Chains A and B, each alone.
Chain A
Amino acid sequence: MTTPKLVEHFFRHEYGRLVATLSRRVGVQYIEDVEDAVQSALMTALETWTVAGLPDNPPAWLFRVAHNNLMGELRRRTGRRRILEQNVKEDIGTLENGPEIFLAGEVRDDLLRMLFDCCDEAIPVESQLVLALKTLCGFGIREIALRLFASEANVYKRLGRARSRLRELPLRPGELTGEQYSSRLPAVRKILYLVFTEGYLSSHAEMAIRRELCDEAIRLATILAEHPAGQAPETFALLALMHLHAARMAARQDSSGGLLLLEEQDRELWDQQGIQIGLDWLARSSQGDRFSRYHAEAGIAAEHCLAHSFQETRWDKVVECYALLERIAPSAIHTLNRAVAVAEWQGPPEGLAILKGFEPPTWLAGSYIWAAVLADLHRRCGNADTANRYRDVACKSAPTPAVKELLQRRLQIGSPG
């Protein structure tokens, strides 16, 4: 007897595919019924396949069961309503076309449509993010809460807001117009960017969990970049920055899970194939005259990927990209990053000069990053007292033990700068 193997994340990705396909056929207003139907189809699969073995075509099998579940539920409901109020003429889409039709290209269309549905202007961004993680990535409520450092109740609330908005949409809206596609495209990119950074920048202890979010973002962004509705230089730049960051991810931790500084990382561990894919997308992103924040961020990531050592990094180029980023998407964090890059390029006093007279917004002033950068720059300028004061603040507000450990190592007085 052999163990029938399923590809990794089979259940999660089938969930996303089925929700997208069925929602598109009956209308996204029925999202909750669709999700219930898919959930119970997966349960049936789990029970049946473990006993009877895998069917010839597991995705087709699942589609048929989920489709029948959904049809049964919607028929039961319209039937009941018809009895209650004689004149109801609610129609439930075109499911009757039969469950057998689905092609790979159509599945991509369905996923993409779902992604654009998630980014409806009327849904708040934090709800869009949760909705996408739930419907497209197939994460459960608890899994989302864990990944976003939110409570389960909070995730429920955000999801509820998104769903109630979807329910309010007019019935049978048909396809989104080209205009709707293009007006929502920036929001779609933003959501994918958020999914990625939730994984990449997360202080979550488990690398596998963080990596998973990055991989999901890359998977969906690739579908977007290959589709006419998403093909644009900004999308390519977004995908480039994802690949270029992800390629260096494994090297950011030592074997015991401790964080490593960029200069401490073993560059041999960087995924060269991933870097190449990133650079290819970056090349494609340079067509047209739009220079987006994704271009700037991908440019910075590319500089790091291409440098043979920390010392050989072209810091002037990095500084230039941060300056562009500050202009396109003004944020204090970009100024702070530019100061760090200038310190490497022209020296710590020049870096410090950029932050002189700079009033950080409260969210940054209260974070360990702000204190840590000031501690580091002052230390390297020889201002021991000021450096110590900032170091204590930074260590006190470190979000995880790993970050605290890194700060203590880096910010030790007398350590080589």
Chain B
Amino acid sequence: MPKQKYLCIQRSQSGKGEKPSPAQMEEMYAKFHAWKEKFQKNIVDMGGKLGSGKVVTSEGATDGPFVEAKEVVGGFMIVSAESLEEALEVARECPGVVMPGSSVEVREIHTP
């Protein structure tokens, strides 16, 4: 398994978009599994969805929004890759990214 790890942060536009139909969900499920199989050596942690939360500052805890409200951080995962390019490739082919209005930010994780 490649050594370098990357954090993938998935963002999507809040509230927008039509609900997928059951047939579309079936397609998404199949695509996702094909993706998972293709990149199984890269996937370190499938991560998960992120729920609501609060921000702690020196002044105490406040509710969101954390960034601009139209873009919401939906989930995260950790992949390993030889290079940022390879990590981007893994993220680019992830079915969730293909949807219009969503994006994935890929950041190298520096560990001492």
Contacts and interface: CB of A to CB of B under 8 A. Distances in A.
Interface of A: 1, 3-4, 6, 9-12, 14-15, 39, 42-43, 46-47, 49-51, 138-143
A142 B22 CA distance: 12
A51 B26 contact: no
Interface stretch (B33-41, B58-66, B82-90): B33-41
Given A11-B23, A11-B26, A139-B22, 19 more contacts: A1-B37, A6-B29, A9-B23, A11-B25, A12-B22, A12-B26, A14-B22, A42-B22, A43-B25, A46-B25, A50-B32, A50-B33, A50-B36, A51-B46, A139-B21, A140-B22, A140-B23, A140-B24, A142-B21
B98 interface: no
Contacts of A49: 29
A4 B29 CA distance: 10
Interface of B: 19-26, 28-29, 32-34, 36-37, 40, 46-49
Nearest to A49: B29
A14 B49 CA distance: 24
A138 B23 contact: yes
Contacts, number: 57
Given A46-B28, A51-B46, A51-B48, A4 B23 contact: no
Q: Which 6 pairs, one residue from A and one from B, show the smallest C-beta to C-beta distance?
A: A140-B21, A11-B22, A12-B22, A11-B26, A138-B22, A15-B22
27 contacts: A1-B36, A1-B37, A1-B40, A3-B33, A3-B34, A3-B37, A6-B26, A6-B29, A11-B22, A11-B23, A11-B25, A11-B26, A14-B22, A15-B22, A39-B19, A42-B22, A43-B25, A46-B28, A47-B49, A49-B29, A50-B29, A50-B32, A50-B36, A138-B23, A139-B21, A140-B22, A143-B23
| Binding site secondary structure of chain A | helix
A95 to B, nearest CB: 22
A271 B11 CA distance: 49
Contacts of A15: 22
A38 B82 CA distance: 42
A12 B24 CA distance: 9
A397 B79 CA distance: 57
A7 to B, nearest CB: 10
Contacts of A6: 26, 29
Nearest to A2: B37
B27 to A, nearest CB: 9
Contacts of B37: 1, 3
A3 B29 CA distance: 10
A39 B37 CA distance: 27
B23 to A, nearest CB: 5
Nearest to B26: A11
A15 B24 CA distance: 12
Nearest to A140: B21
A48 B24 CA distance: 16
Nearest to A50: B32
A309 B40 CA distance: 54
Contacts of A12: 22-23, 26
Contacts of B32: 50
A43 B20 CA distance: 8
